[in-house]
């Protein structure tokens, strides 16, 4: 057991999802003595439920909701591509790209509404309508009546991303629950426990990147701000004899895609379609059985030439955790707030993890928390391991 009170760090990060792991990698590259604490397994929160889409904001711009923040999100695909090619701020060349681009499709009933968007030069640079010969296989059917567009936004394997971010830093990633936490302008004192073992940690700053867990951590610190909101989703997984490589949004009447499909693989390598969009937003009002019936109906309505009758379906409930917004709406940028030794952060999108890490880096520098000149290794502790992706957990299918 590590003896009490002798672990000193510049920064302790609480939460090993994409936000905490990106920040850990960025800070350690600069020489910070940074330590990450994870209570379950890396990626176990929202990160493993993500569809892995590196949004450039097109799906929001298409519905007319263009705002200042759409420029921030538009900068994300090139930033990630540089990392994936091995010349960005973090080396992600080992991360598998599930797809280099996505598709957006409209049904016959709203194709005419799309035309107006192509009057805009900005939209023309972001998406391109395809000719029938270039359609992905799933839409090459005589009964397809809509239009297909290509979006230059990549899709990542999120499990590979978590591995690539964490692996070089495993010695600085500790499993455990904070039992006690106190922080003020002069520093942070923490008691971390894993089973019977305890360690006292002193740090100059604590970063809360625990997603939904941030609320309980703030309570442990005796704070009631910043406040959090959760927005639930009821996602659906489908497995069976399905077309491969489908990463596509169906444009609907609301500001959200009617359906988003991403393709993944279960533990036995079988194809899984993971369904989000309005189906998942509206699905929170439904029981699991009702949601699965709604998913079958939606797939049949949109892709009637595919036979889903022999497919297995499963529902997944998951909350998005974000800073509280006045009207509960989706925040459209990252959130990080520094107060008395603690930075509370939510990326609001996986794609925003690098932007959030840069923001937190700035906040640390502003607070005078700079890398301490010590090469001393951190004491040994238990590594939390990596969470499986939901569709790889067989029990979820029954």
Ligand X SMILES: Cc1cc2nc3c(=O)[nH]c(=O)nc-3n(C[C@H](O)[C@H](O)[C@H](O)COP(=O)(O)OP(=O)(O)OC[C@H]3O[C@@H](n4cnc5c(N)ncnc54)[C@H](O)[C@@H]3O)c2cc1C
Residues that bind ligand X (CB under 6 A): 14-20, 37-40, 44-47, 49-53, 55, 178, 209-211, 213, 216-217, 233, 235, 276, 318, 320, 346-351
Whichever of 99 and 271 has its CB closer to ligand X, that residue is 99
> Cβ contacts of residue 170 below 8 Å, gap of 6+?
383
Element (H, E) at 39: none
Shortest separation between residue 173's beta carbon and ligand X, angstroms: 11
Shortest Å, Cβ 166 to ligand X: 11
Report d(CA 173, CA 380) in Å as an integer.
10
Residue 124's φ and ψ, nearest 5 degrees, are -60, -30
**DSSP H helical ranges for 244-321:** 278-283, 288-302
* Beta-bridge partners for 272: 239, 264
Q: By the 8 A CB rule, do 16 and 43 touch?
A: yes
**Is the distance from CB of 388 to CB of 396 less than 8 angstroms?**
no
Using the minimum distance from each CB to ligand X, give the nearer residue, 138 or 190: 190
Instruction: Give min distance, CB of 88 to ligand X, in A.
Output: 17
The reply to whether omega before 38 is within 30° of 0 (cis) is: no
Decide whether 136 or 211 has the Cβ nearer to ligand X.
211
Q: Which is nearer to ligand X, 31 or 319 (CB)?
A: 319
- Is the CB of 353 or the CB of 369 nearer to ligand X? 353
Which residues, at least 6 apart from 67, have a Cβ–Cβ distance to it below 8 Å? 332
Cα 129 → chain centroid = 28
Given the complex with ligand X, which of 57 and 136 has the nearer CB atom? 57
The least distance separating ligand X from the CB of residue 242, rounded to whole angstroms, comes to 19
| Residue with smaller CB distance to ligand X, 105 or 144 | 105
Task: Estimate to the nearest angstrom the gap between the alpha carbon of 11 and the chain centroid.
Answer: 23
Minimum distance, C-beta of residue 284 to ligand X, in the bound complex (Å): 12
Contacts of 171 (CB under 8 A, 6+ apart): 377, 378, 380
Strand 155-156 with 312-323, pairing:
unpaired
Residue (of 164, 194, 200) closest to 384 by Cα position: 194
CB of 131 to ligand X, least distance (A): 28
Q: Residue 298 corresponds to which tokens in the numbers above? A: 């939606």
Closest CB 90 distance from ligand X, rounded Å: 15
- The DSSP code for 157 is -
**Residue 158 C-beta: closest distance to ligand X, Å:** 8
C-alpha span between 179 and 4 (Å, rounded): 14
For β-strands 342-346 and 197-208, DSSP reports them as: parallel
- The Cα 321–Cα 317 span in angstroms is 13
Measuring CA to CA, which residue among 230, 209, 208 is closest to residue 320? 230
Residue 144 vs 172, nearer CB to ligand X: 172
Q: Shortest distance, CB of residue 40 to ligand X, whole angstroms?
A: 4
Q: How far is the CB of 212 from ligand X (least distance, A)?
A: 6
Within the chain, what is the greatest distance between any pair of CA atoms?
Answer: 70
Q: Which is nearer to ligand X, 15 or 136 (CB)?
A: 15
CB-wise, 111 or 198, nearer to ligand X? 198
């Amino acid at each position: 057991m590590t003896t009490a009170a002798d672990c000193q760090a510049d920064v302790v990060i609480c939460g090993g999802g994409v936000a905490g792991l990106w920040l850990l990698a960025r800070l350690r590259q600069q020489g910070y003595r940074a330590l990450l604490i994870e209570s379950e397994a890396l990626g176990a929160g929202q990160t493993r439920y993500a569809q892995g889409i590196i949004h450039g904001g097109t799906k929001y711009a298409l519905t007319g909701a263009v705002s200042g923040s759409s420029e921030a999100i538009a900068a994300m695909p090139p930033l990630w591509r540089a990392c994936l090619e091995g010349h960005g701020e973090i080396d992600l060349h080992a991360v598998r790209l599930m797809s280099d681009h996505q598709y957006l499709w409209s049904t016959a009933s709203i194709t005419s509404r799309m035309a107006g968007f192509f009057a805009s030069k900005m939209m023309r640079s972001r998406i391109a309508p395809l000719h029938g010969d270039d359609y992905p296989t799933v839409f090459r059917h005589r009964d397809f009546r809509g239009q297909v567009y290509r979006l230059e936004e990549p899709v990542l394997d999120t499990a590979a991303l978590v591995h690539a971010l964490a692996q070089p830093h495993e010695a600085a990633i500790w499993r455990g629950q904070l039992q006690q936490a106190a922080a003020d302008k002069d520093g942070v004192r923490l008691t971390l426990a894993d089973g019977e073992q305890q360690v006292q940690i002193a740090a100059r700053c604590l970063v809360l990147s625990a997603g939904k867990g941030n609320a309980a951590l703030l309570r442990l610190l005796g704070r009631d701000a910043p406040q959090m909101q959760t927005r639930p989703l009821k996602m659906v997984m489908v497995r069976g004899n399905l077309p491969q490589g489908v990463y596509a949004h169906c444009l609907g009447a609301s500001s959200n895609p009617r359906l988003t499909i991403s393709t993944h693989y279960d533990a036995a390598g079988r194809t899984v379609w993971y369904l989000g969009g309005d189906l998942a937003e509206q699905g929170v009002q439904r029981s699991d059985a009702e949601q699965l019936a709604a998913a079958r109906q939606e797939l049949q309505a949109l892709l009637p030439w595919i036979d889903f009758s022999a497919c297995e379906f499963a529902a997944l409930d998951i909350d998005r955790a974000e800073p509280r917004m006045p009207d509960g709406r989706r925040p459209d940028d990252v959130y990080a707030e520094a107060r008395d030794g603690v930075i509370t952060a939510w990326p609001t999108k996986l794609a925003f993890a690098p932007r959030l890490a840069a923001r937190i880096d700035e906040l640390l520098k502003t607070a005078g928390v700079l890398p301490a000149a010590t090469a001393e290794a951190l004491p040994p502790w238990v590594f939390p391991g990596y969470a499986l992706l939901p569709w790889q957990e067989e029990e979820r299918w029954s």
